[in-house]
A and B are shown apart, each in its own frame.
Chain A
Amino acid sequence: SQQGEEDPQALSIQEGENATMNCSYKTSINNLQWYRQNSGRGLVHLILIRSNEREKHSGRLRVTLDTSKKSSSLLITASRAADTASYFCATDFKAAGNKLTFGGGTRVLVKP
């Protein structure tokens, strides 16, 4: 499968700690995106990083992309209880054309 795969599948941290999750994929991409899904809700876009970019920041979020290792990481700094959600990477494979492929997600629990 070309699907992006997140690691770990689940993560439990204390409020204030940092949370890091990784996404690996198998073939060349145009871009990679990260989404958040709160329980019972639709997905919300967090960050898009293009294949020629190595790092992007958005508020407390930091995303890195290593195309040589075919992997990306999402770091949430100073986590809050409201960050409790599932996080998905979505890859736009060059061969796929106009489609995103979502990974299985990382479930993050931030304990107050």
Chain B
Amino acid sequence: NAGVTQTPKFQVLKTGQSMTLQCAQDMNHNSMYWYRQDPGMGLRLIYYSASEGTTDKGEVPNGYNVSRLNKREFSLRLESAAPSQTSVYFCASSYLSSYNEQFFGPGTRLTVL
């Protein structure tokens, strides 16, 4: 039982490049989330998926797209990376939306030059 896994762990991009962050959970959770965390700050919600087949914008969705590939997997895509997207990205999942605790992955540290 791996919980929530994220790949890659580290990534360096040049401005304008694209990439996809992968997230998978093996807990049969319905809801999945993508957050970003900037130095010394809390988490800000980028996108979330309350259930398979649905996605919704969070607080800071601009510059990102998501895909809920199936119940297990939720990917985050940066189409044209910008230095302002330098951050640590966390994926999380929960059984039923915000009524339950969220389980977090280890994070992806992204630097955009």
Contacts and interface: CB of A to CB of B under 8 A. Distances in A.
Interface residues of A, number: 23
B45 interface: yes
B106 A42 contact: yes
Interface centre among A31, A101, A104 (most CB of B within 10 A): A101
Interface string A35-50: 0000011111100100
B97 interface: yes
A48 B94 CA distance: 13
Contacts of B44: 102
B43 A33 contact: no
Interface in B65-108: 90, 92, 97-107
A74 to B, nearest CB: 15
Interface string A82-112: 0000001010100010111111110000000
A88 B42 contact: yes
Contacts of B59: 101
B7 to A, nearest CB: 14
A3 B103 contact: no
Interface of B: 4, 31, 35, 40-45, 48, 50, 56, 58-59, 90, 92, 97-107
Interface of A: 3, 30-31, 33, 40-45, 48, 88, 90, 92, 96, 98-105
